[in-house]
Amino acid sequence: MKKVVVGISGGVDSSVAAIRLKNEGYEVIGLFMRNWDAALNNDILGNPTLDENICPQEQDYNDAVKVCEKLNIPLYRVDFVKEYWDYVFTYFLDELKKGRTPNPDVMCNKYIKFDMFAKKARELGADFIATGHYARIKDGKLLRGVDNNKDQTYFLAQLSHEQLENVLFPVGDLEKPMVRKIAEEYDLITAKKKDSTGICFIGERNFKNFLQNYLPNIPGKIVEIETNEVIGDHIGLMYYTIGQRRGLNLGGNKNRSYVVGKDLNKNILYVSSKEDEEYLFSDSCVVDQVNWIGEKKLDKCTAKFRYRQQDNDVELEYLDNGDILVKYNHVKSVTPGQLCVFYDKEECLGSGIIKEVRKNGKKLWYL
C-alpha cells in the first residue's frame, strides 16, 4: 500500500483530499503545518505588544484534529515558523519597502509547502504528498483545475518540475460545490466552513494595524497626476496598490480616483480621476525570477498578471540577462511584485515576477 502525506489545513479542500485518497486505497497520514508564532515573531522584533487573539491558526488545527479523528487517520503537527519568517514573511516586508505588491502565498508554496513540507513527509515514509489545491498533474505537466473559479495553478507557478514529482491534487478534477457535498456526506466539521481569504498570517485582522507593527508608517501627500495638485494625504505607500480605488478617503468627486503610481523618493502617492483610465493600461512588462516547470518555452502563449484575471495573449522576448519582455495589448493594472503566469491552453508553463511595466516602449516612471 502506497503512503501519502496530506497537508491538512483545517479547511474543506484538504479534508476532501484526504477522503478521496483513503477511498482510493492509499495509507493516508495528515500533517498540519504551523507557520506563524506571534510570541516568537514578537521576540524577534522586540515588540511583545501585538494583539494575536484573533489569529485563526489554532482553530484551524482543532478542526484538522476533528477531521482526522472522523476519518480515522493519524495527524502530525510540524512547525515551520522560522522557515516561514525567513523565506516568506521577510520577502513580503522587503517587497513592500520597495513599493511593490508581493504575493506571499506563492513563496509559501515554493519554500514551505512543496519544500520543507515535502522533506518532512519523506521522513514519515511518504511515497507521495498531497494538498487541497485546485490543480491537476498529467504526464508531468501542471494543468489548471477543472473549476475555473477555483483554479490555483497561479499560486503554484514558481514550483519546479522536481517539486511537482510525486505530488497529488485529489480535488483538482472537482468543482467546489461537489467538494462541499462530499464533506457533508462524511459529516465533517469543515463542510460549511468559510474559505480562508487574504494573507494567511494576517487573517481577519486589519491590514494596517497588523503591518504597522513591522514597518513604520510614513504618511505623505496624495497628488493628482494630471494637475500635480495635492488633494489629500496617504497613510504610507505600502498600503496601496496600482488600480486601487477604495480607502483613499479623498471625498467628493475625487473619491472616484484610483492609484496610478508611487514615488518612493518623494513619498508621493499618485492618483487619477480620468474616466478613460489611461494611466492604468500598459502594453508590456519585464519579468525576472523566471521559473519554467517543464521544457516548453514558447514565443507566444497566454498569461495572467493577477489571480482570477482572464488570460491575455502575449509574445515573449527572451533577454540576455535571463529576464523576459512580455508584450501584450492594453492590459489594466499590471503591477510590479505580482506574478506573471504563462499558459498553453490548460497547461501552466511557469512564471516570472513583474519587475517593471512599460507603455509604448518606455518604463512607466510612476510605477
Hey, which residues are catalytic here?
A: 108, 200
Q: How far apart are CA 321 and CA 318, in angstroms?
A: 9
Q: Which helix (H) or strand (E) holds 222?
A: strand 220-224
State the first-to-last Cα distance of the chain, in angstroms, to the nearest integer.
54
Residues near 351 by beta carbon (within 8 Å), at least 6 away in sequence: 157, 158, 287, 290, 291, 339, 340, 341, 342
Q: Residue 89: what are its φ and ψ, rounded to 5°?
A: -70, -40
Q: Are strands 128-130 and 3-7 parallel, antiparallel or unpaired?
A: parallel
Q: Which helix (H) or strand (E) holds 223?
A: strand 220-224
Q: How far apart are CA 220 and CA 198, in angstroms?
A: 26
Q: Are strands 27-34 and 3-7 parallel, antiparallel or unpaired?
A: parallel
Q: Are strands 135-138 and 141-144 parallel, antiparallel or unpaired?
A: antiparallel
Q: How far apart are CA 357 and CA 188, in angstroms?
A: 46
DSSP secondary structure letters along 275-332? TT-TTTEEEEEEEEEEEESSS---SEEEEESSTTPPPEEEEEEE-TTS-EEEEEEEEE
Q: How far apart are CA 247 and CA 151, in angstroms?
A: 29
Distance of CA 63 to the CA centre of its chain: 23
Q: Which of 354, 101, 352, 347 shows the shortest CA–CA distance to 238? A: 101
